């Protein structure tokens, strides 16, 4: 008779606890400085223990609107306008909790989102959260796509088109994989077919450390290349399967992967970079574009909560 190997307690903990830092166990208190929260001053399990979905995005206002939208979509009691910023004691990030959904802003760029993710992942650990899914909902520049297209990231790649994230640690480069959850991406694509006016594709996303020169723009304060060189780079990116460019996906994917958190990146394209660099689309159109990833993720969450 086959004997099943026992599940070691350490393996179980390893899979569920999210953080990957032995030093945390020796700390009497953990201050999540940029959230203005701490394990001593806040009952994190009571505040956050039921979180199942975490949505992150660059702008504080957008993440507040998303929280209000989710409140309405989940038909929760109370007034959506009364949702309060849990991080109101600091203006670094904003955080809103709506039932099992947490909505947090992360600012622009890899360093900003990476600080937020360290504290978020520790928060989920201290709160004993289980089976959490993360979504980055954001904006991007498209390559060869009509503006307003939603791109669900297959691979998050760096400026050399490599599916990896490099972090300098103690003066050495550590390279981490940026693979995202394939099942979540496919499920999100399926959700897009169930909603009106949501042109959506799965493609690779390039993450850069700059909006201007770093994304091959000709309209920054500095530019060291020609129009032809820009277009050649973008065409090569397109050949490598890259369909949009933004500034946070690689570190988001890498940190979630190391910490066993299922994650997806969903960004709307604001312009087609093969046609220009300036974002000249009218404000109301941009606002509608930015709601598209929110609709998609809200639909996904409602399906998971068996509300539709
Ligand atoms: C998309 O938009 C921002 C730059 O405008 C950046 O945070 C990103 O990834
Ligand atoms: N965000 C980016 O990072 N790039 C764009 O072109 C548009 C939004």
Residue 139 Cα to ligand 2 middle (Å): 6
Which of 107, 113, 247 is the best mutation target for the ligand 1 pocket, counting ligand atoms within 8 Å of the beta carbon and taking the most?
Answer: 247
Check pocket membership of 270 for ligand 2, CB cut-off 6 A. Answer: yes
Task: Give how far Cα 126 sits from Cα of 17, 110, 224, Å.
Answer: 9, 24, 47
Q: Compute the radius of gyration of the chain from its Cα atoms.
A: 20
Contact assessment for residue 268 and residue 141, using Cβ atoms and an 8 Å cutoff:
no
Residue 160 Cα to ligand 1 middle (Å): 19
- The pairing of beta strand 31-32 with beta strand 37-38: antiparallel
- pLDDT tens track of the chain, all 308 residues? 444 444 444 444 444 679 999 999 999 999 999 999 999 999 999 999 999 999 999 999 999 999 999 999 999 999 999 999 999 999 999 999 999 999 999 999 999 999 999 999 999 999 999 999 999 999 999 999 999 999 999 999 999 999 999 999 999 999 999 999 999 999 999 999 999 999 999 999 999 999 999 999 999 999 999 999 999 999 999 999 999 999 999 999 999 999 999 999 999 999 999 999 999 999 999 999 999 999 999 999 999 999 98
Helix (H) or strand (E) holding 201: strand 200-207
Protein residue whose Cα sits closest to atom 6 of ligand 2: 141
Ligand 1 binding pocket (C-beta < 6 A) is 58, 108, 138-140, 211, 246-248
Q: 283-304 and 60-73 helices cross at what angle (nearest 10)? A: 50
ipTM: 0.99
The number of the ligand nearest the C-alpha atom of 105 reads: 1
Check pocket membership of 141 for ligand 2, CB cut-off 6 A. Answer: yes
Cβ partners under 8 Å of residue 163, min gap 6: 155, 156, 157, 177, 178, 179, 204
């Amino acid at each position: 008779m086959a004997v099943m190997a026992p599940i070691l307690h350490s393996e179980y903990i390893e899979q569920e606890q999210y953080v990957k830092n032995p030093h945390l166990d020796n700390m009497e208190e953990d201050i999540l400085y940029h959230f203005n929260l701490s394990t001593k001053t806040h009952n994190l399990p009571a505040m956050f223990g039921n979180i199942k979905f975490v949505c992150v995005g660059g702008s504080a206002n957008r993440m507040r609107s998303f929280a209000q939208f989710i409140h309405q979509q989940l038909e929760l009691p109370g007034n959506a306008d009364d949702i309060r910023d849990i991080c109101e004691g600091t203006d670094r990030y904003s955080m809103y909790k709506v039932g099992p959904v947490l909505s947090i802003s992360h600012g622009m760029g890899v360093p900003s989102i990476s600080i937020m993710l360290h504290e978020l992942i520790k928060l989920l650990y201290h709160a004993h959260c289980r089976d959490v899914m993360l979504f980055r909902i954001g904006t991007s520049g498209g390559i060869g796509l009509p503006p307003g297209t939603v791109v669900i990231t297959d691979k998050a790649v760096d400026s050399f088109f490599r599916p990896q994230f490099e972090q300098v640690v103690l003066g050495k480069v550590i390279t981490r994989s940026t693979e995202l959850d394939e099942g979540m991406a496919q499920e999100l694509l399926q959700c897009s077919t169930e909603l009106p006016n949501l042109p959506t594709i799965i493609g690779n996303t390039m993450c850069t450390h700059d909006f201007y020169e770093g994304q091959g723009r000709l309209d920054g304060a500095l530019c060291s290349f020609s129009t032809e060189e820009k277009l050649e780079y973008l065409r090569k990116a397109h050949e490598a399967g890259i369909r949009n460019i933004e500034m946070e996906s690689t570190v988001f994917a890498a940190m979630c992967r190391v910490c066993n958190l299922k994650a997806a990146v969903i960004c709307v394209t604001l312009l087609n970079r093969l046609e220009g660099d300036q974002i000249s689309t009218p404000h109301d159109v941009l606002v509608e574009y930015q709601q598209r990833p929110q609709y998609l993720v809200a639909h996904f969450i409602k399906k998971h909560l068996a509300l539709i």
